[in-house]
Amino acid sequence: MSRNTVSQLIRQATLIGSTAELTDDGVGDVLITQGRIAAIVPNGGAANSTSVADLPADTEIIEASGQYLGAGLIDLYSQSGEPGYESRETYASLQQAATAGGFTRVGLLPTTQPAVDNVSAIASILATQTQLATQTQSDQTQGDDSPLSQTNLMPWSAITIGVNGQQLVEFAELSAAGAIGFADAQPLTNPVLVRRLLEYIQPLNIPVALWPCDPQIAGNGAAREGVDSLRLGLAGVSAIAETSPLATLLEYVAEIPTAIHIMRVSTARSVALIKQAKERGLPITASVAWHHLCFDTGDLADYQPSLRHDPPLGTPADRQALVEAVEAGVLDAIAIDHSPYTYEEKTVAFESAPPGAIGLELALPILWQTFVDSGRWSPELLWHRLSAGPASCLGLEAGRLEVGAIAELTLFNPAAKWTVSAQNLRSRSAFNTPWADQTIQGKVSQVWNYC
């Protein structure tokens, strides 16, 4: 976008989730003026024949034939290295990676050093975002190639002080300070504390995300227990490490009907429990991390450290159940759970590697290749689970592709090929991915974020 441009016309894009009446191919033109969607014209409409001459003189024309335009993507939860581990990721590098991946909003987990568990920590993140936005505006005034838009960083507050699972934080104060919700991103193993949490949080009506995991059952396991873990000689983690605390949590919610979000679902049995709970009318939503949809224990034969996750990758049956749950809406959203680690931290034996991998720049193209290009999912289904689905889990509105709406949009080219390398990634932990040095297909062309 030229620095003085007031309007942009995105031409011939396939529109995902538009409220406008389109032709059967879903192709149309979208006019953005002063940060809002001013017009949507279907393929073959007046905008394609005469409107270019009628547009403001400074309108930039973006040719988007073969590309998809939809609401900006929203990530429920990801991790930054800052503060404490800036060599892994800073707020600035995470924001740049998220923007490059098509995300207009990202939830930041509080598992930093120190943890985000107080008003000043929330204020610091929000102030940093303002500073980054100011710097970008300054750079654009000077005419450099800074991104058109920046991802909004949405800080989660910890549930417990220091995310140590012992003492609850001041929920009302932190919510008023700008916390998007509450999540330790660690298992809460004290049942009395979980009950107290549900009681305290209920009248506040703010998101709380819980990870069902029993660390004692999980032990030092590195792979989901099954045939593959035995064959590969990897210490197994029983599915019961997830399903037992999940079942208990659902019983608590049945008694104390506080709305909760269940994060990091990874087993077939968990899907069944969540489905039953929803059928009973319990106020729950749930998400799966994207890598659990793309890999399973059958992919661990090379002992790739970037496939070490927590919870661990599921069995093929788990993966199939998770994919079907995304399709059916049992799982409301796909989370990225971006977890950056440096090359030195990850270049160790599989079982010694810290769990997690990057994903903000890779999730959309890889999921598109895996599920949309294969014909299993429609573009609309994938986009919904990465935008409106996460927004709903957070009690927010997603961006809208309709006239009058603020422009919060992502343009994606599924045909673009590029190599996953440090030169092409914005994340500081560019080698922390199983796709390192591989050529993949699909890339975000542009993001608009005026919200």
**Single pTM value for the model:** 0.95
Q: List, in order, residues 6 or more apart from 318 with CB less than 8 Å away.
A: 224, 239, 266, 267, 268, 292, 296
The percent of residues above 90 in pLDDT, for the chain, comes to 87
Q: What are 115's two structure tokens?
A: 């943890």
Do 61 and 80 fall into the same domain? no
Do 79 and 59 fall into the same domain? no
21 inside domain: yes
Residue type present at position 399: G
DSSP string, 190-240: -HHHHHHHHHHHGGGT--BEE----HHHHTT--EESSHHHHHHTPPEE-TH
410 inside domain: no
The confidence score (pLDDT) of residue 134 equals 75
415 inside domain: no
Do 12 and 138 fall into the same domain? no
Structural domain ending residue among the three candidates 36, 66, 96: 66
Write down the mean pLDDT value for the chain: 93
The confidence score (pLDDT) of residue 130 equals 87
Whether 44 contacts 27, CB under 8 Å? no
Do 237 and 257 fall into the same domain? yes
Flag whether pLDDT at 379 surpasses 80: yes
407 inside domain: no
Do 62 and 80 fall into the same domain? no
Residues 233-255 have a mean pLDDT of 97
**Would you say how long the chain is, in residues?**
451
The confidence score (pLDDT) of residue 314 equals 97
The confidence score (pLDDT) of residue 22 equals 75
Structural domain ending residue among the three candidates 66, 85, 113: 66
411 inside domain: no
Structural domain ending residue among the three candidates 46, 66, 86: 66
Do 60 and 93 fall into the same domain? no
Do 190 and 290 fall into the same domain? yes
For the purposes of burial, counting CB atoms within 10 Å of the CB of 282, is it exposed (0-12), middle (13-18) or buried (19 or more)?
middle
As a whole number of angstroms, the distance between CA 375 and CA 192 comes to 47
The confidence score (pLDDT) of residue 136 equals 64
pLDDT category, 392, cuts 50, 70, 90? Answer: very high
Q: What are 379's two structure tokens?
A: 């573009």
Do 158 and 210 fall into the same domain? yes
Neighbours of 123 (CB within 10 A): 13
The confidence score (pLDDT) of residue 147 equals 42
Domain that holds residue 25: 7-66
Per-residue pLDDT tens digits for 399-430 = 999 999 999 999 999 999 999 999 999 999 99
Flag whether pLDDT at 49 surpasses 70: no
Per-residue pLDDT tens digits for 13-22 = 999 998 777 7
Flag whether pLDDT at 46 surpasses 60: no
**CATH number reported for the structural domain that contains residue 255 in this entry:** 3.20.20.140
As a whole number of angstroms, the distance between CA 68 and CA 60 comes to 18
pLDDT category, 145, cuts 50, 70, 90? Answer: very low
416 inside domain: no
89 inside domain: yes
Do 82 and 60 fall into the same domain? no
Domain count of the fold of the chain:
2
Do 44 and 87 fall into the same domain? no
Do 290 and 235 fall into the same domain? yes
227 inside domain: yes
Flag whether pLDDT at 2 surpasses 60: no
Residues 274-292 have a mean pLDDT of 98
The confidence score (pLDDT) of residue 315 equals 98
Residues 29-41 have a mean pLDDT of 94
> Of 62-66, 115-119, 143-147, where does mean pLDDT reach its minimum?
143-147
Do 45 and 123 fall into the same domain? no
Residues 438-445 have a mean pLDDT of 98
